[in-house]
Each structure stands twice: as structure tokens, then as C-alpha cells.
């Protein structure tokens, strides 16, 4: 499916659609409870310190085959972004 076709596709209500690396499409449900939970976790993550590597809704190429755009990810202190021809990726 082409990017043009995807951008003109009607996705179900209540979902956010992300376009990841290598043409991956990531759909995630959104609701008030979902949003509230993520916000609470973001606030709680402040206890880790202001330099903690916390990210949200960003495509991550995890070392295993489980690549995704997690709602919230707390990365190791030594995590580094790897250069890629198709997209920026973070290694955890």
C-alpha cells in the first residue's frame, strides 16, 4: 500500500496512526483513561531526575524484534541513537 493511499484511509475512531521506519504503520488506541495513565506515568518519571531518558510515542528499534512506538519508554542511561538510511532509531 502506498503512503498516499494510507494517508487517505479512514482509520477507526479513537486510534492514532504513526508511520514508522521501513513503511511500518503503528495504530494505537486513545481514550481519556489511556491519556490520563500515560500522563501520570510521565509525572512519576520525573522522580528519576531531569536528565533521565524518557520518551513518548517515538518509534524505537529495540534490540529484539519488538520494534514499536511505546506510549512511554524509559531508556538506559547509555542508550544511543543509531543512524539509519530510512529513519532515526534508538537502541535500548
pLDDT per residue over 29-48, tens digit each? 788 888 888 888 888 888 98
Q: Could you tell me the CA-to-CA distances from 18 to 7, 10, 37, 48 in Å, in that order?
A: 11, 14, 20, 28
What does DSSP assign to residue 13? T
pLDDT per residue over 64-78, tens digit each? 666 677 888 888 888
Number of folded domains that form the chain: 1
Residue 28 has pLDDT above 80, yes or no: no
Query: What's CA 48's distance to the chain center, in Å?
Result: 20
Residue 11 has pLDDT above 80, yes or no: no
| pLDDT number for residue 92 | 46
Task: Report residue 90: phi and psi, to 5°.
Answer: -120, 135
Burial of 79 (0-12, 13-18, 19+ CB in 10 A): middle
| Boundaries of domain holding 36 | 3-91
Amino acid at each position: 500500500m502506498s503512503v498516499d493511499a494510507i494517508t487517505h484511509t479512514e482509520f477507526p475512531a479513537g486510534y492514532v496512526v504513526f508511520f514508522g521506519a521501513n513503511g511500518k504503520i503503528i495504530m494505537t488506541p486513545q481514550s481519556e483513561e489511556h491519556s490520563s495513565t500515560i500522563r501520570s506515568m510521565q509525572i512519576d518519571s520525573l522522580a528519576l531526575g531531569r536528565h533521565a531518558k524518557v520518551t513518548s510515542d517515538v518509534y524505537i528499534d529495540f534490540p529484539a524484534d519488538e520494534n514499536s512506538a511505546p506510549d512511554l519508554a524509559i531508556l538506559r542511561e547509555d542508550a544511543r541513537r543509531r543512524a539509519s538510511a530510512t529513519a532515526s532509531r534508538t537502541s535500548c
